[in-house]
Chain A
Amino acid sequence: MSGFANALASAAVVVTVAAVVALWRRRLRSILLALVVQGVGLGAVATLLAVHERDAGLVVVAALVLGVKAVLIPALLARVASASPDARESDPLVNVPASLVIAGLLTLVAFVAARPIVAIVGGPSGRLVPLGLATVLIGFFMMVARRRALSQIVGLLLVDNGVALTAFLVTSGVPVIVELGSSLDILFGVVVLRVLFARLSAIGVRDLDQLASLHD
Chain B
Amino acid sequence: MNATRLVAGALQLALVVLGGPLLLGLMRRVRSRLEGRDGPRITQPWRDLVKLATKQRVRPTESSWIFGLAPLVVVATAGAVAVLAPLATLAPPLANSTDFVAVIFTLLVGSVVLALAALDTGTAFGGMGASRALTIGALVEPALLVAVLALSLPLHSTNLVAIVADGARHAPVLVGPSHLLALGSFVVVILAESGRLPVDNPSTHLELTMIFEALILEYSGPDLALVTLGESMRLVIWLGLFANLAAPWGVAASGAGGFALGAAVLVAKVAVLGVAVTVFEVTTAKLRLFRLPELLAGGFILAVFGVVTGAVMR
The interface of chain A, by Cβ under 8 A from chain B, is: 1, 3, 5-6, 9-10, 13-14, 16-17, 20, 24, 26, 96-97, 100-101, 103-104, 107-108, 111, 127-128, 130-131
- CB contact under 8 A between A13 and B301, given known A1-B172, A1-B313, A97-B294: no
Interface contact A13-B172, CB-CB below 8 Å: no
Interface contact A17-B181, CB-CB below 8 Å: yes
Interface contact B312-A97, CB-CB below 8 Å: no
A103 to B304, CA, bound (A): 10
Interface contact A107-B305, CB-CB below 8 Å: yes
Q: Which residues of chain A are near B264, meaning CB under 8 Å?
A: none
B242 within 8 A of A: no
Q: Tell me the nearest residue of chain B to A107, going by C-beta.
A: B308
B300 within 8 A of A: yes
A106 to B305, CA, bound (A): 12
Q: Which residues of chain A are near B312, meaning CB under 8 Å?
A: 9, 111, 127-128, 130-131
Q: Tell me the nearest residue of chain B to A110, going by C-beta.
A: B308
Please give 17 more A-B residue pairs, beta carbons under 8 A apart, in addition to A96-B297, A104-B301. Answer: A3-B172, A5-B313, A9-B176, A9-B312, A10-B176, A10-B177, A13-B181, A13-B305, A16-B305, A17-B302, A17-B305, A97-B296, A100-B300, A100-B301, A104-B305, A107-B304, A131-B309
Q: Which residues of chain A are near B308, meaning CB under 8 Å?
A: 107-108, 111
A128 to B304, CA, bound (A): 16
Minimum CB–CB distance for A124 against chain B, Å? 9
Mark each residue of chain B from 282 to 314: 1 if its CB lies under 8 Å from any CB of chain A, else 0.
000000000001101110111011001100110
Minimum CB–CB distance for A119 against chain B, Å? 14
Interface contact B172-A24, CB-CB below 8 Å: no
Mark each residue of chain B from 21 to 36: 1 if its CB lies under 8 Å from any CB of chain A, else 0.
0000000000000000
Q: Among A96, A108, A127, which residue has its beta carbon within 8 angstroms of that of B294?
A: A96
List which B254-305 residues lie within 8 A (CB) of chain A: 293-294, 296-298, 300-302, 304-305
Q: Which residues of chain A are near B309, meaning CB under 8 Å?
A: 9, 13, 131
Residue pairs across A and B with Cβ atoms less than 8 A apart, 11 shown, are A1-B313, A3-B172, A6-B313, A9-B309, A17-B302, A20-B305, A24-B298, A24-B301, A100-B294, A101-B297, A128-B312
A103 to B301, CA, bound (A): 8
The interface of chain B, by Cβ under 8 A from chain A, is: 172, 175-177, 181, 293-294, 296-298, 300-302, 304-305, 308-309, 312-313
Q: Which residues of chain B are near A1, meaning CB under 8 Å?
A: 172, 313
Interface contact B297-A97, CB-CB below 8 Å: yes
Q: Tell me the nearest residue of chain A to B139, going by C-beta.
A: A97
Q: Which residues of chain A are near B305, meaning CB under 8 Å?
A: 13, 16-17, 20, 104, 107
Q: Among B172, B301, B302, which residue has its beta carbon within 8 angstroms of that of A6?
A: B172
Q: Tell me the nearest residue of chain B to A129, going by C-beta.
A: B312
A3 to B176, CA, bound (A): 10
Minimum CB–CB distance for B136 against chain A, Å? 13
Interface contact A9-B297, CB-CB below 8 Å: no
A1 to B313, CA, bound (A): 8
A71 to B15, CA, bound (A): 50
Minimum CB–CB distance for B46 against chain A, Å? 40
A10 to B177, CA, bound (A): 5
A111 to B177, CA, bound (A): 17
Q: Tell me the nearest residue of chain A to B301, going by C-beta.
A: A100
A127 to B181, CA, bound (A): 18
A108 to B307, CA, bound (A): 11
- CB contact under 8 A between A9 and B294, given known A20-B305, A104-B301: no
Q: Tell me the nearest residue of chain A to B311, going by C-beta.
A: A111
Q: Which residues of chain A are near B293, meaning CB under 8 Å?
A: 96-97
Interface contact A20-B301, CB-CB below 8 Å: yes
- CB contact under 8 A between A100 and B177, given known A9-B309, A20-B305, A127-B312: no
